[in-house]
Structure 1
Amino acid sequence: MSDSSGGEFETLGGWPGLLRELAAGRDLDPAYARAALGQVLEGSATDAQTAAFIFGLKVKGEAPAEIAGLVQAMLAAAAPLELDDPRATLDIVGTGGSRALGGRAFNVSTMAAIVAGGAGAKVCKHGNRKASSTSGSTDLLEALGVEVDLDGPGVARCVREAGVGFAFARVFHPSMRFAAPVRAELGVPTVFNLLGPLAHPGQVGRQVVGVADPSLVNLVAESLLERGVERAWIVNGDELLDELTTTGVNSVVEVRAGQLTRFEIDASTHGMARTTNDELGVGDPGENARVARGILAGEPGPLRDMVVLNAAAGLVVADVAVDLDSGIEAAAASIDSGRAATVLDSIIEVSRSA
């Protein structure tokens, strides 16, 4: 942060004023939240100040306007990512924090992104290494042979030529390293788990955001509404998964045309077999990659259904499919035709030459 920005933070009240506001249970002005996170991302905040800030927000409960200010700070500090048509580009992402599978969840969102790409969506997946599972999106893609450390032009080229690109959070949000030790020591989900999906460096207009904690669904929806996305689904999976699942009824809030709409999805009413969490667990990135290759080769089963279901959601949000049933049909065809596998091969080839 520049000296003038630092001066702005002090003018607003600095750390003492900010912490007094949070301790009193009062929401921060978006500019105050933005300036505070700017201090963190510059490395000017101490670990104690960072911890007090993010935990104070958690205890009070983050407000959408605060989130908007924090997202502004994240994007201001981010490396540039200029996509050809960001408003039409899709991201499928989870916030993490799901413990339903004991950390053994398959990386559904990454595979759903690839399948959606095979069905005609333009996708820029924003992700990181493992959070609540044994394999994050970066871990899985590396195991599949994708070069993940691409800069903005490289990611944009992947989206343009392969249909799907991957923006590694550590490349585009390097300033997050200043908060990493505090996040690790706290050991609980914080506002940063929400900021990852909301602060996509390419500022995509179409998003499927999985949230494990049902109490945060409205906050994420209202934050995306305030950001002005074209269309988004915020999903809370059955049994507190951060994605649509086939184990039961999923809750969804749609952001579209400046409005929020709430509904439920039960995959069993869309032709999919009801499953249990015992059927959904996998192991390390290598096992994730083997399962992923099997799905793309046409192997049936509950994990394929999960991928198809979440890809279908993405296709609806991207306006490639008119409804979930047609999205499911298109996602299944993406796999069965071999187009999804071709997309993965293209991602690998383009990423290695970018």
Structure 2
Amino acid sequence: MKAILNKLYNHERLSKSEAKQVLIDIAAENYNDAHLASFMTVFMMRPITVDELSGFRNALKELAIKVDLSDYNTIDIVGTGGDGKDTFNISTLTSFIVAGTGQKVAKHGNYSVSSQSGSSDMLESFGYNFTNDEDILRAHLEKANICFLHAPKFHPAMKAVSATRKALALKTFFNMLGPLVNPSSPKNHLLGTFNLEIARLYNYILQAEDINYGIIHALDGYDEISLTSGFKFFTKKGEQIINPEDLGQKRIQQSEIFGGNSVADAAKIFKSILEGKGTEAQNNVVLTNAAFALTIVDETKSFETAFEEAKDSLFGLKAKRTLEKLVSL
């Protein structure tokens, strides 16, 4: 690691193979906490390259405990986190709304690093038991239309750095990697990033693959459609800027999607929205994200049609029953 760190301190870049090997060594716990913190800090101070991100991703995918869910045409709905906005759990709520429409969801997630509550914090608070057993995950998809893939159960490298990431309490390149390394390799992705540069990196990497995807970066820094501003949207067809008004939505204030100061606060908001008791702003944010997810799976579907399907899932309490079913299994 000393040689790698000295190279990075000299403003050199890692090749794809070097980046891959470092991650393999991290997974093997070959480095101490100080080395890990120093290594992660480098990528907070300068942009990561395509080769570096690809190499890190290749290592994580190679080392992952893989599960085959290809029979279900699943979608993953996930953001990088690390946007520092402390919203309620938008992508997780969106996942349950999408599952409530009948679309299968293989949600990849983790504990929060830089906000009050991540997807794993939320599901754990509801009594969900994390698993990497393929048969159990398939049963969850069959019976609840959704399964949850808790990253440390599948990625030894993430587990190896979890204490260091938590101690840093800052976004690192692992935030960038999470959405790219779902161990079930779904064919559909709605991904969010906390900055535009990462969105472009994702687009560069994913456009070469045989998958459907949409990448979102809100122009005011959110890693999801926030309706507080316009957002950049990347697909294989190109990129565009979309404003809330283009979707028939009102712009909202950041305070309207605040997630509280604890997991308990976030869970209360989560349950309230699933019970159909969310505010107009909260509802419209999750419904808009859900509609975009549905149009990624079926590109012939209009946003308006998908939005109505999402509304039926939320206000018909299908999303609520999906969560209840998942936790009961």
Same fold (TM over 0.5): yes
Report the counterpart of residue 32 of structure 2 in structure 1.
46
| 1:119-177 superposed Cα distances (whole Å, 9 cap, x missing partner) | 23210111111223211111222233433345333223212321111111121124423
Instruction: Name stretches of at least 5 consecutive residues in structure 1 with no aligned partner.
Output: 1-13
Report the counterpart of residue 287 of structure 1 in structure 2.
265
- Secondary structure class of the residue paired with 1:239: coil
How far apart are residue 38 of structure 1 and its match? 0.4
Separation in structure 1 between the aligned mates of residue 300 and residue 131 of structure 2, nearest angstrom = 32
Instruction: Name stretches of at least 5 consecutive residues in structure 2 with no aligned partner.
Output: none
Aligned residue among 47, 60, 79 for 1:94? 79
Distance 1:144 1:180, change over 3 A: closer
- Secondary structure class of the residue paired with 2:138: helix
Distance 1:116 1:179, change over 3 A: same
- Secondary structure class of the residue paired with 1:290: helix
The answer to whether the aligner puts 1:176 opposite 2:162 as a matched pair is: no
Report the counterpart of residue 67 of structure 1 in structure 2.
53
Separation in structure 2 between the aligned mates of residue 58 and residue 291 of structure 1, nearest angstrom = 32
Alignment of 1:1-354 (within 5 A): 16=3, 18-19=4-5, 21-85=7-71, 88-100=73-85, 103=86, 105-226=87-208, 228-254=209-235, 256=236, 261-283=238-260, 284-299=262-277, 300-319=279-298, 322-350=301-329
- State the identity as a percent: 27
- Secondary structure class of the residue paired with 1:165: strand
Question: Do the aligned residues in 1 keep the contact of 2:15 with 2:51 (CA within 8 Å)?
Answer: yes
Query: Once superposed, what is the RMSD of the aligned Cα atoms?
Result: 2.3
Query: Which residue identity lines up with residue 64 of structure 2 in the other structure?
Result: A
- Secondary structure class of the residue paired with 2:148: strand
Q: Which moved more, 1:148-157 or 1:232-241?
A: 148-157
Distance 1:127 1:175, change over 3 A: same
Q: Which moved more, 1:91-100 or 1:216-225?
A: 216-225
- Secondary structure class of the residue paired with 1:133: coil
| 1:41-61 superposed Cα distances (whole Å, 9 cap, x missing partner) | 101123344334333344442
Distance 1:131 1:47, change over 3 A: closer
How far apart are residue 94 of structure 1 and its match? 1.2
Separation in structure 2 between the aligned mates of residue 47 and residue 282 of structure 1, nearest angstrom = 31
